[in-house]
Amino acid sequence: MSDEGPLGGRLLGIAVAALVMLAGVLAVGATLRGGPDVPAHPEPGTLETGQPITEEAAVFSTRAADLAVDPTVQGRPGASGRSLAGFRALRAYPGAPPRIPHALADDEFLQATCNQCHRRGGWAPRFGAYAPVSPHPEFSNCLQCHVPANTGELFRPTGWVAAAWPVTGRRAMEGSPPVVPHALEMRGNCVSCHAGPAAVAEIRTTHPERANCRQCHVPALGGPEPGAAFSRPLERPGGAAPPDGPDGRGGGA
Amino acid sequence: MPICSYVVVPADGARGAVAASLASLPGCDVVPAENADLLLLVTETDDLDAEAALRTRIEAMPEVRGLVLTFGDVDPDTPEADPLSRTFRKAVSSLPDTP
Amino acid sequence: MSPVERRIFLKRMAMAAAAASASSLVPDVAFGEELGGYVGDPEALEWRKTPCRFCGVGCGLLVGLENGRAVAVKGDPESSVNRGLCCVKGYHSVQALYGGDRITRAQVRRDGRLVEVSIEEALDVVAERIRSTIAEHGKDSVAMYGSGQWTIPDGYVASKLFKGALGTNNVEANARLCMASAVTGFMSTFGLDEPMGCYEDIDHADVFVLWGNNMAEMHPVLFSRMLERRRTGQGVQIIDLATRTTRTSYAADRSLLFAPQSDLAIANAICHELVANHWVDESFVERHVAFKRGKTDIGYGLEDGFSFTDEATDVGWDEYVAFLADYTPERVEAISGVPAEDIRWLASLYGDPARKVTSFWCMGMNQHTRGTWINNLVYNVHLLVGKIAEPGNSPFSLTGQPSACGTVREVGTLTHALPHGVVTNEDDRRMAAEIWGVPLENIDPRPTYHTVEMFRALDRGDIRFMWVQVTNPMVTMPHLNRYRAGAEKEGRFLVVSDVYPTPTTDVADVILPASMWFEQEGLFGNSERRTQHFAQLVDPPGDCMSDTWQLIEVARRLGYEELFPWSYEEHIDGIWAEYTRFHDNPKHRMAPLDELKERPGIMWPYVDGQETKWRYNTRHDPAADAEYGDFDFYGKPDHRAWIWLRPYEPPPEVPDAEYPMWLNTGRVVEHWHTGSMTRRVPVLHQAVPNAYVEVNRLDAAEMGIRNRERVRLVTRRGSLELEARIDYRGQPTRGQVFVPFFDEGLLVNELTLDSFCPISKQPDYKKCAVRLERIGGRTAS
């Protein structure tokens, strides 16, 4: 393994995808067998814990061997690649399902054969590009969320203003791994946008061979406002004697 | 006292003009790119209101097409005023969807 | 850093961030000379090596220094442990030095209030209190409680002061809560502590079996190394054997879930299959293995003053086979819930002579009321097939803390131990007395209290004075309500050396401001026998003083100047020179300090300039005698490793009608132990700001509990209200809940049970009976 080396040459090598959250399409059907109330001596096969947690499982769901092209490969020269601007242009707001940027044959539209290309990725001669890998190939009713653009016109002018894209590359120090600025639902599989020949150029990882992404990159959403760290109350909860010095020392200074 | 940085996208051919305008503003340090229509801007202001006012002023410049926040820090004296907070960020314009 | 420097620094950071964003928009963008004044040149920072101070993996870090402060971190590519990669804690580790509420002045409690005093005055108070407590209540009324985060010099001077000078064996460390079962497992099977193999085993193994070990979060750097092995090797498999579905399960090729405590039965069933299918390496067993039976029905340590000593009885192969007859896969399926065919399949992996197998474990097996037994049983599996002590064939006990091995295990900061050997052995006492320069009579041959019993003794009043360093027992002790109340009783005096206010400093009578990590010179020892030196890289803030030097200052105040004669500049060199005399033999020789200062760490035994990667293997270990064949298990007098006949016995508290579920506790990747450091790192705190309880989706549905709803957990010892999380980080099996313990505001250890392994005295934090209640009004159907 080579040094990740965000300090090796470029100042800040890795940027992180700017996606927030897809509208609630995550339908989890809990259809698993139940276990006994007291599991000291469980029946065999009853210790299942449920469907995989999407955000936890997805990062491991696509292994290099499952992909048409190894994620460490950058792809053939001249291939039309994805850019961050184009990536954003396909989405109405951060986290929106992207529009389908290419024409669909009728049978593709009817049968939604998207996963033939988008499950494993790979070179698509028809487009002179590598197919982006779906971050959620377990879903196959693709057109439920992704639709093509069949006209460039608007019916009426729109006053829509999108939410701001999150700041990419936010990191605590020089060389720290950047935090994940987007939600992980539906997009926990980092390879989709950050590795392989179809990666978005600006947010391509420098180390696509590593599989346990969240070892270093942790979500920055869902917690308190950025910048805040834990601060301890001056007085211990329910305690009689506050730790209190002459200048009020004792925490939180 | 917030310190922020931005990438500024000027209108075509206006890089030099924007650099000059920004450099004349108080608390602004600007570094234009040598080979692209981009400028880097670091601002130092008294408080978040001043930062927001400065931003509004820059955005209103006709030769500025876009402004994106890339860094923000406030002194520990005013820990509640983090320019990377969601409310602050919401007000920051994003780059237009063109390369 | 002055305010002006700080603003210059921030503006430089700001410009660097803008430049980075610009280069993500226009990859080849260039800026002129002007940027040079703003953008920090990482190469211009001074980069110095240190081991990471979180977890026992012992990653090599390079810390970037500027203006006397740590400002950046990168993985040390020279370190064979992590080869340049860290985890999120490591990458942000240096920020833990700069929390806003760092303790920088000493405080002494007067009239119920903590009052700031000079550190000299506080040290006077500590020394005087030790003196008066011993005068009034005897030498065994004063105690030292340290940690696996002690540096080696910290632990060494603590042991010398208490065991050598004061003459009490009241020295314990939180590593008792962490790896005591690993130690007793090693001692009972091999006669010597610590793994025979090393991390390089990962690069050779074909099969990895993780026994109750969420390695993706707890040992992430080694986990990534294992994933790399799977990516580049042929047919490499990872099997997760666990009581809860975690990130590790998803990364594994197979995840097998078992009922709590039934790992004992599973290990025996694997051995049953190895025998039944003739997969046993007979020549290895004949030459290198002896069979022993120990006591059974050994209790759980729930009573004050509980005592237990195991006895080994010789048995033969036939008795072992008869013992295994109880553990057919079908019978074990009924105990464990693991289908018999999966047990057979697991046995076939261990039994396949063409595959190299490495087993990893940590707290799942160690925090276990039969922790010693399950350690023995996994060694049994490896010994039966001879898959041990050679590259890739490795039963590997992982460690939790950065120097649990280096300090607690090797220096012996436990009540029964000495830097070499045990207090009960006269030769070992004689060696210690000679090296320490104290009369032999000073060293008491009777062990006193292990950790749980030490806090019980504090509660009872047998201990009156306790000095706590680098640990936070008022968050980590099981059955916490009892031990906190005990520490707060009249006539108990608690000294706490720490870097941030914690629930333990809350009950302190004296708080000593400690320097941390590379604010001092020190050494750690990681879980592959690797000793790692770090220099002092930055100055400690305020009056902060290293734990080593605090102990030396107090020792001198007690009149032991001649035992601690070193100047501040030379004390680490002096301590190292003295300490390594204890281990100056081919089985444990340690590298000289000069070499340790230069390299990212060196493994012991270090003989003739060579690290020993595989102990007991005559091709790799100079202490192993080829007279015994390819392997020489020289830790035991018969030069054999011992296979123990250890049965399945149930845990002390199992779910019943009143408390119908299992309570399991543990960690998350973002937080280190009690969070007193990691919660002060913004990125880590924001990722996981508070504790929560994981509830199985079906249990939640049955009780009408929604995700993120507040619920109540009740055990026989306490109750706790917190947020329920469904399918968040991990998924417990039905009838089980899981709570991380890092949150001092949500103390799950008020609920846990203080039962322990009778042999190792390590508590079991992984299983007790709990009731989950909905607060919203509706009750469970």
- Of C32, B70, C166, the C-alpha closest to A167 is B70
Distance CA C738, CA C663 (A): 6
Q: Which segments within C553-660 are labelled E, that is strand?
A: 602-603, 606-607, 610-611, 641-645
Distance CA A131, CA A133 (A): 6
Chain B residues whose CB is inside 8 A of the C15 CB are 5, 29, 31, 40, 42
Q: How many residues does chain C have?
A: 781
**In Å, how far is A161's CA from the nearest CA of chain C?**
22
Spatial contact of C437 and C160, defined as CB atoms under 8 Å apart: no
Spatial contact of C245 and C257, defined as CB atoms under 8 Å apart: yes
> Does the beta-carbon distance from A225 to B82 stay under 8 Å?
yes
Q: Which residues pair with C69 in a beta bridge?
A: C66
At residue A113, does pLDDT exceed 90? no
Give pLDDT tens digits for A15-26: 222 222 222 222
> Does the beta-carbon distance from A50 to C731 stay under 8 Å?
yes
Tokens found for residue C388: 């041990």
ipTM of the complex, rounded to two decimals: 0.81
Distance CA C380, CA C285 (A): 10
- Of A14, A167, A154, A27, the C-alpha closest to A92 is A154
At residue C51, does pLDDT exceed 60? yes
At residue C343, does pLDDT exceed 80? yes
Of B82, B93, B98, the CB nearest to A226: B82
Chain C residues whose CB is inside 8 A of the A52 CB are 245, 250
Fill in the DSSP letter of residue C57: S
Chain B residues whose CB is inside 8 A of the C16 CB are 71
Using a 10 angstrom Cβ sphere, with 0-12 exposed, 13-18 middle and 19 or more buried, the burial of residue C779 is exposed
Instruction: State the chains in contact with A (3 or more Cβ–Cβ pairs under 8 Å).
Output: B, C
pLDDT at A62: 75
pLDDT at B16: 86
Mean pLDDT of chain B: 73
Chain B residues whose CB is inside 8 A of the C18 CB are 5-7, 40-42, 70-71
Give pLDDT tens digits for C629-641: 999 999 999 999 9
Residues 6+ apart with CB under 8 A from C490: none
At residue A222, does pLDDT exceed 50? no
Q: Residue C6 — pLDDT band, cuts 50, 70, 90?
A: low
B23 has a chain C CB within 8 A of its CB: no
pLDDT at A250: 31
**In Å, how far is A91's CA from the nearest CA of chain B?**
10
Distance CA C662, CA C648 (A): 18
Tokens found for residue A219: 């979500």
What is the mean pLDDT of the segment spanning A80-89?
A: 85
Distance CA C526, CA C648 (A): 31
Active site residue C401: yes
Of C338 and A124, more confident:
C338
- Of B77, A30, A129, the C-alpha closest to C731 is A30
> Does the beta-carbon distance from A162 to B93 stay under 8 Å?
no
Q: Ramachandran region of residue C462, left (φ > 0), alpha (ψ -120 to 50) or beta?
A: alpha
> Does the beta-carbon distance from C83 to A1 stay under 8 Å?
yes
- Of C609, C608, C613, C607, the C-alpha closest to C587 is C607
> Does the beta-carbon distance from A237 to C745 stay under 8 Å?
yes
> Does the beta-carbon distance from B89 to A164 stay under 8 Å?
yes
pLDDT at A80: 73
Q: Residue C611 — pLDDT band, cuts 50, 70, 90?
A: very high
pLDDT at A172: 81
Give pLDDT tens digits for C246-289: 999 999 999 999 999 999 999 999 999 999 999 999 999 999 99
At residue C731, does pLDDT exceed 90? yes
Mean pLDDT of chain A: 69
**B residues 54..73 contacting C (CB < 8 A):** 68, 70-73
Distance CA A213, CA A217 (A): 6
B28 has a chain C CB within 8 A of its CB: no
Q: Residue C4 — pLDDT band, cuts 50, 70, 90?
A: low
Active site residue C179: yes
Catalytic pick among C146, C400, C525, C675: C400
Distance CA C440, CA A21 (A): 69
Which string of DSSP letters, residue by residue, matches A162-190?
PPPPPPTT--SSBTPPPPB-S--TT---T
Lowest mean pLDDT segment, chosen from C28-32, C553-557, C695-699 = C28-32
Residues 6+ apart with CB under 8 A from C298: C308, C310, C649, C758, C759
Active site residue C89: yes
Spatial contact of A11 and C20, defined as CB atoms under 8 Å apart: yes
**In Å, how far is A139's CA from the nearest CA of chain B?**
29
pLDDT at A167: 76
Catalytic pick among C95, C107, C401, C762: C401
- Of A229, A249, A135, the C-alpha closest to A189 is A135
Fill in the DSSP letter of residue C422: B
How many helices (H) and strands (E) are present in chain C, helices listed first? Answer: 25, 31
Active site residue C215: no
Of A162, A163, A167, the CB nearest to B70: A167
Tokens found for residue C681: 């790192």
pLDDT at B13: 82
* Pairs of CB atoms within 8 A across A/C: 304
pLDDT at C38: 54
Of B79, B82, B92, the CB nearest to A164: B92
Give pLDDT tens digits for C166-217: 999 999 999 999 999 999 999 999 999 999 999 999 999 999 999 999 999 9
Nearest residue of chain B to residue A229 (CA atoms): B79
Chain B residues whose CB is inside 8 A of the C25 CB are 7, 38, 95, 99
> Does the beta-carbon distance from A83 to B95 stay under 8 Å?
no
pLDDT at C499: 96
Cα dihedral across residues C128, C133, C136, C142: positive or negative: negative
Give pLDDT tens digits for C481-537: 999 999 999 999 999 999 999 999 999 999 999 999 999 999 999 999 999 999 999
Give pLDDT tens digits for A126-177: 888 899 999 888 777 788 888 888 777 887 787 787 777 877 777 788 788 9
Of B47 and C587, more confident:
C587
Of A164, A166, A225, the CB nearest to B85: A225
- Phi/psi of residue C116, nearest 5 degrees: -70, 135
Q: State the amino acid at position C305 in one-letter form.
A: G
Spatial contact of A79 and A129, defined as CB atoms under 8 Å apart: yes
Of B34, B41, B42, the CB nearest to C30: B34
Distance CA C410, CA A22 (A): 53
Tokens found for residue C346: 């697991």
Instruction: State the chains in contact with B (3 or more Cβ–Cβ pairs under 8 Å).
Output: A, C
- Phi/psi of residue C160, nearest 5 degrees: -65, -40
Q: Residue C3 — pLDDT band, cuts 50, 70, 90?
A: low
A110 has a chain B CB within 8 A of its CB: no
> Does the beta-carbon distance from C42 to A175 stay under 8 Å?
yes
> Does the beta-carbon distance from C7 to B3 stay under 8 Å?
yes
pTM of the model: 0.83
Distance CA C738, CA C724 (A): 10
Of A246 and B51, more confident:
B51
Active site residue C400: yes
Mean pLDDT of chain C: 95
Spatial contact of B49 and B56, defined as CB atoms under 8 Å apart: no
Distance CA C362, CA C409 (A): 15
Q: Residue A236 — pLDDT band, cuts 50, 70, 90?
A: low
